[in-house]
Amino acid sequence: MKVLPAMLCGSLLTGLFVVTPAAYADQQLAASMCDYIKADDKNRFRKLLSDNRLRLRNIYDGVMCDGNSMIRHAVINKAAGAGEFIIKQLPAAQINASGDIAWAEANHASSPLIAVLKERAGSGE
């Protein structure tokens, strides 16, 4: 009788260890992306995406940096190079849907990324 609960518990714990490394790797990857954006290191950010065969448009909505989108993280940290790279990798519809333009204008009106966002979104001056 005691063998069945022990086996069940063991199989559940084994399942947890199988899932955890992948989740940890994803968290590490996202943390690295956020660090590269904060440091305005466009080249290392681009290399990280390339090495992991990731397209920014496919992962943009799922990666948050300190509770902000990657573009907002770039605006807050004055990372113009990395921010411009991110913006140019995203389709206009995704930029328009994100609300990042209105947020940047309301919170960081002097950011040079606002012009890049507007141009990419199709509402440039």
- Beta-carbon contacts of residue 66 (< 8 Å; ≥ 6 apart): 34, 73
pLDDT per position as a tens digit, 34-49: 999 999 999 999 999 9
66: left (phi over 0), alpha (psi -120 to 50) or beta: left
Residue pLDDT, tens place only, 6-22: 444 454 444 444 444 55
SS3 for 58-122, per residue?
HHHHHCCECCECHHHHHHHCCCHHHHHHHHHHCCHHHHHHHCHHHHHHHHCCCCCHHHHHHHHHC
Per-residue pLDDT reduced to its tens digit, 76-115: 999 999 999 999 999 999 999 989 999 999 999 999 999 9
pTM for this model (two decimals): 0.76
- Contact between residue 80 and residue 114 where contact means Cβ atoms under 8 Å apart: no
User: Which residue in this structure is represented by tokens 């790797």?
Assistant: 25
